[in-house]
Amino acid sequence: SKAAARQRRGRAGRVQAGVCFHLYPTTAHAQMNEYQLPEILRTPLEELCLQIKALNLGKIRPFLQRALEPPLELSVDNAISLLTSIGALTSDEQLTALGRHLAALPVDPRVGKMLLLGAVMQCLPPVLTIAAGLAHRDPFVLPIDKKQAADQARRALAG
């Protein structure tokens, strides 16, 4: 955001003379939002919903509606629906035994369930490999017009 860029510029020279270089063009700066969206509006809500239930803070929807900038109802509904479908919440938003375990893990609830089931089924090493792969974005995601260059890079890395 433009606010973050101004803050970084202000850090240059705070203790001694300094210069701040922004490694993006002026056109990119002009297209930036003035301020970054609040984190609650730009991140998945599943882990937060589990924490709300684990800390006995009441129903999820009313709790999140008290935020300064509450998330969209659809986002909250989707998070609750996902947690219900994987067995972390009951239909009346009560935390299940699986949900208590997932709330203790610092990962996406779907990945957490996969890890727990891998441990139970005694096949944790391959599940850990899959979970590690799912935890990060694909390094080869590029704009469509650069697909050929990405394919060439993949082939070069593949040997």
Q: What is the pLDDT of residues 28-65, one digit of tens each?
A: 888 888 877 777 777 889 999 999 999 999 999 999 99
Instruction: Look at residue 40 in the predicted model and tell me its pLDDT.
Output: 79
What is the rounded average pLDDT for all residues in the chain?
A: 87
**Do residues 76 and 64 make contact, with C-beta atoms less than 8 angstroms apart?**
yes
Give the confidence band of 144 by pLDDT, cuts at 50, 70, 90.
Answer: low
CA 90/CA 61 separation, integer angstroms: 15
Q: Which of 41-50, 69-78, 83-92, 131-140 has the lowest mean pLDDT?
A: 131-140
Q: Is the pTM of this model over 0.85?
A: no
Using an 8 Å Cβ cutoff, are 109 and 47 in contact?
yes
